[in-house]
Amino acid sequence: MCGIVGIFSQTPVAVELYESLIHLQHRGQDAAGILTCEERFYPKHGLGLVREIFSSQEISELKGNMGIGHTRYPTAGGYTEADIQPLWIGNPRGIALAHNGNLVNYPELAHHIRYEQHRHLNSSLDSEVLLFILADYLGEREGVKSGHWTLPNVQCPDLTPSASDTFFSQLCDAIKQIHEQVQGSYSVVSLIIGKGLVAFRDPHGIRPLVMGERKRSDGTCDYIFASENTSFYALGFEPQGDLAPGEVVFVDKSGKLFRQIVSQKSFRPCVFEYVYFARPDATLDGVSVYRSRLRMGQNLARRFKEKFPNVVPDVVIPAPFTANTSALSFAHELGVRYSEGLYKNPFIGRTFIMPNQAVRARNVRYKLTPQRTEIEDKKVLIVDDSIVRGTTSREIVKMVREFGAKEIYFVSSCPPIKNPCFYGIDIPSRQELIAAHDTEEQIKQYLGVDGLLYQTEEDLVEAVTRRGQHQITSPCMACMNGDYVCSQLTEEKIQELELRRKRDKI
């Protein structure tokens, strides 16, 4: 899972790209990058948080009225500067790309590029493969031959309207070929020198991609495309909805907007965006993340009353911050006091997206401090967004127990996670997932709680789809039910990918 943004404006975009990445920081804390375009590319990237990477001077050197940005949370690739997006290539023309998602058939695509095309891949990112394929298909349709890596720094003629129409048609053909060849999830923003800004989404719409528009006094418009609309208000953009599954949007150099759905399959957006990843103030695919989490808590509370009819907790406490919204509605439904009994240090990152288990476990106590007045001698009910590996949940329970809780009940807004994710979330293998090999009773004993409750799959889908102007009927829940969007994911392929991820982490 990563955060991407692309902006076309009538004025320089570097500062607004930086501000957008600040709003997308929760989607990736490992690295970040910005790339702008004038008659050449101006890139800047680094490891760490956005505010640590870019200085005012460096931002001022990123020239151009078009640009893309990326915050990285690695599920594929390594931890070096070579594995930071946006990526760019100089031939057949200057093309840059930032990608959120994960390519399931990356090994096969990379093998083809290396050993059949005899070309060099400079990173371990599946995004680089996507960049190569886009450049190749687009070059074929434009009649431009692929070649070596070069820095494009040439004068590009302005596009006429007819030229933009022709190019958009070629672009749609190229991306349709990507849809047919590439398996997995991909929401993409791209810059093409001399042409404009491109955004497109995979045919299932697994990863989110939203659009905004800002009208200027002279009648021209600026456009933004991003993983979430969380920065739109601050930057003065009006939300214009989501890119449809399989849709391509192109803004040419003059600011003319083109859009077309080139291929579309069953709409399967990732449900974990609503459970955990997206910021609560985001609206994705027509659904308010905040409202969906309120409904998750409401549904969960009703199930709790059925399973534990004689239990009335003294206080409902969220595992901050993602579970706060669900815990609030859970407490309201039970008629019980809501309390932030765990204080979270906001300067420590999200433990779920930290690079390994040891760091993740160590940081739980660094970032959370129980408040004794809210816990001691009370029946405490803890609401968390999910139980993935069980490490964080167990540490939270231990801390609450140490601060004098009389009884502890633990509820999860998400159903049991039993399968690895191959579409961009760091749920790497069944071996690491506690629900994949332990029963609910065993998990209860491992966590050390008096009662445990998971959300049902039906209640989670209902919570996401109850309201909103959306077309979602069956979100992707493969990590919970094993129903992978890509039918090519056989058991043999799953085991192969699990082994590959295990080797990559060594």
Active site (catalytic) residues: 2
Contact present, 409 and 450 (Cβ < 8 Å): yes
Rounded Cα–Cα distance for residues 157 and 175 (Å): 24
Contact present, 449 and 440 (Cβ < 8 Å): no
Rounded Cα–Cα distance for residues 350 and 242 (Å): 26
Q: Which of 398, 389, 416 is closest to 481 using CA atoms?
A: 416
Query: What letter would DSSP give residue 27?
Result: G
Tokens 């151009």 correspond to what residue? Answer: 64
Task: For 11, list phi and psi in degrees, rounded to 5.
Answer: -130, 170
- Structure tokens given for 40: 């050449």
Distances (CA, A) of 307 to 315, 383, 460: 18, 16, 17
Rounded Cα–Cα distance for residues 449 and 406 (Å): 11
Is the sign of the CA dihedral 474, 476, 20, 98 positive or negative? negative
Rounded Cα–Cα distance for residues 283 and 274 (Å): 9
Q: Distance from first CA to last CA of the chain, Å, rounded?
A: 21
- Structure tokens given for 291: 């409202």
Rounded Cα–Cα distance for residues 350 and 356 (Å): 12
Q: Which of 43, 26, 38, 137 is closest to 82 using CA atoms?
A: 43
CB atoms within 10 A of CB 466: 13
Tokens 């990563």 correspond to what residue? Answer: 2
For 379, the enclosing helix (H) or strand (E) is strand 379-384
Tokens 């404009």 correspond to what residue? Answer: 196
Rounded Cα–Cα distance for residues 432 and 437 (Å): 9
Q: What is the DSSP string of 103-142?
A: ETTHHHHHHIIIIIS-----SS-HHHHHHHHHHHHHHHHH
Contact present, 227 and 193 (Cβ < 8 Å): no
Contact present, 43 and 86 (Cβ < 8 Å): yes
